[in-house]
Amino acid sequence: MTSMSQPAHAGPPTFFSKQATVARPGFTRWMVPPAALAVHLCIGQAYAFSVFNGPLTKVIGITQSAPDDWSLTTLGWIFSLAIVFLGLSAAFAGKWLEHVGPRRTMFTAACCFGGGFLVSALGVWLHQIVLLYLGYGVIGGIGLGLGYVSPVSTLIRWFPDRRGMATGMAIMGFGGGAMIAAPLSVALMNHFKSATSVGVAQTFVVLGIAYFISMSIGALAIRVPPADWKPAGWTPPDTSHRMITRNHVDIDEALKTPQFYLIWLVLFLNVTAGIGILGQASVMIQESFKNTVTPAAAAGFVGLLSLFNMGGRFVWASASDWVGRKNTYFIFFVLGAVLYYFVPSFATTGNIALFVLAYCVILSMYGGGFSTVPAYLADMFGTAFVGGIHGRLLTAWAAAGVAGPVLVNYIRAYEVAHGVAKADAYTMTVHIMAALLVVGFVCNLLVSRVNEKHHMSEAQLANEQ
Amino acid sequence: MNETSTAVTPASRVRLIVFWAYVLIPLAWGVINTLRQALKLFV
């Protein structure tokens, strides 16, 4: 096996350098997905942060909120900051991560995410909210962004024959991380709570150390393939009539193409249509089926949606290897729009089974949108800088994170204020979601091959590597 | 180079199984917990 040639400008390889992570003979590519999962399962904790909200409002009062305790509004900014810094770090660190490789990026993510918990623990102990904003919000958020994008391009290079499946496995971990973190955090808080403590600071310390170790294991295990590597017996498919390129586009150059902005809109619209519903699922099913669905059953509905959100990330991304990336998004937009259009009628006719099934499918496509997009980008812009381009595309997620909940909450509030019954207040919202998906369909339709003028020359590519 | 030239050794096969178990066992625990919660929708 030949090793990747050393760039002329580089110094001696260190343990964390890209050159030191080139796979040696005997390494199997199937070690890479669990390395990526080790990181994504940790950072997926972000979706479970709300389990700390209740205890954090009683840090001083312990059994009930004291006047000096933090309010839910104050605490809400922690998660919002984390998502903003996820988007910013993914967008701005893209070039750096392609340059230094996945190991250094994943280890930096481990330091940031684990360290963010430790700073937050200090914030709880000193009762300084600014330390929670800085710790989990800013430092942890940077760890989230770096951790999210760091293994993606490596996976795509190891699995050129199954790009969707490979990235689907990792990004499925982000969906599943909350399923581990939520019960674990509750158990730890119960273990540490006492007459003088709600147990959050101690839980943050344990989680910070555990996540640092787990993510570091992923960073140590990750390997990049040698430059000339390809799977046994695999020949690159004929791409002359397909939406898959063998060329490469630089990160900055990708931003000059209409394809980047169209795929940005595709992701933004797909996420907007799902994220608002995800946040309101419990209230929505209880209001739609008043006196039928209890709060416990509604919590079950939320759990079911989480499972479909996670499963969809793997299933849809894997399916995209067969049906094509563009066709997969066509399915999301057509099926999503149809389901959103009919879902109010399932509620009015009292058909809870169809109501639940429709939302499960919608949430599977919400998750699938996240996991299919890295492979879509690799098809369009090549694999050389797909991690960095993916990082910049994630600003669509941050934007949708604001737009989705705002749409759902404000439209519902407007409807209720104008005399619409709560059970019917979601009709307008879901019909708007259906319309957004139709717009997404058009954006996806407009995606075509990237113009050759944006492709890198062999010399440029060799210089970058 | 291709995958056939990097024959997987028994040691690396064990490492592979252990590493997959390391990530899948916690994930399975989380999924089972969530499934238990989800079943409350149907009872």
For the stretch A359-382, pLDDT in tens is 999 999 999 999 999 999 999 999
Closest CA to A358 of A337, A331, A330, A329: A337
CATH number of the domain that residue A371 is part of: 1.20.1250.20
Spatial separation of the C-alpha atoms in residues A135 and A154, rounded to whole Å? 29
Which residues on chain B are in Cβ contact (under 8 Å) with A34? 19-20, 22-24
Whether A301 is in a domain gets the answer: yes
Environment class of A53 (CB within 10 Å of its CB; exposed 0-12, middle 13-18, buried 19+)? middle
Task: Say whether both A75 and A189 belong to one domain.
Answer: yes
pTM: 0.89
Compute the residue count for chain B.
43
% residues pLDDT > 70 (chain A): 96
Query: How far off is chain A from B33, nearest CA to CA, in Å?
Result: 7
- For residues A176 and A310, membership in a common domain is answered with no
Do residues A308 and A419 share a domain?
A: yes
A356 domain residue, yes or no: yes
> Quick check: B23 and A180 CB within 8 A?
no
**pLDDT score at B11:** 80
Q: Are residues A427 and A313 in the same domain?
A: yes
Q: What confidence score (pLDDT) does residue A2 get?
A: 35
How far is the C-alpha of A114 from the C-alpha of A102, rounded, in Å?
18
Please give the residue range of the domain that contains residue A145. Answer: 19-221
> Above 70 in pLDDT, residue B5?
no
Task: Tell me the mean pLDDT in the region A385-405.
Answer: 89
ipTM of the complex: 0.88
- Tell me if A87 is assigned to some domain: yes
- Residues A200 and A51 placed together within one structural domain of the fold: yes
Distance CA A441, CA A337 (A): 10
Asked if residue A275 belongs to a domain, the reply is: yes
pLDDT of residue A465: 64
Tell me which long-range contacts A425-433 makes (C-beta under 8 A, separation of at least 24).
A425/A287, A426/A284, A426/A287, A426/A288, A426/A344, A426/A347, A427/A344, A429/A276, A430/A277, A430/A340, A430/A341, A430/A343, A430/A344, A431/A340, A431/A341, A431/A344, A432/A407, A433/A272, A433/A273, A433/A276, A433/A277, A433/A336, A433/A340, A433/A407
Instruction: Tally the residues of chain A.
Output: 465
Provide the domain count of chain A: 2
Report, as an integer, the average pLDDT of A269-275. Answer: 91
What pLDDT was estimated at residue A5? 40
A 35-74 residues with CB < 8 A to B: 35, 37-38, 41
Residue A7 has pLDDT above 60, yes or no: no
Mean pLDDT, chain A, whole residue set: 90
Question: Which region among A76-85, A215-224, A441-450 has the lowest average model confidence (pLDDT)?
Answer: A76-85
Give the pLDDT mean for A435-439.
Answer: 96
Assess whether A263 and A393 both reside in one domain: yes
Report the distance separating Cα B23 and Cα B14, nearest Å: 15
Residue A139 lies in a domain: yes
What's the pLDDT at B7?
64
- Categorize the per-residue pLDDT at A56 as very low, low, confident or very high, splitting at 50, 70 and 90: very high
pLDDT of res. A1: 37
What residues of B are in the A interface, CB distance below 8 Å?
Answer: 1-9, 12, 15-16, 19-20, 22-24, 26-27, 29-31, 33-35, 37-43
Please check whether residues A320 and A403 belong to one and the same domain: yes
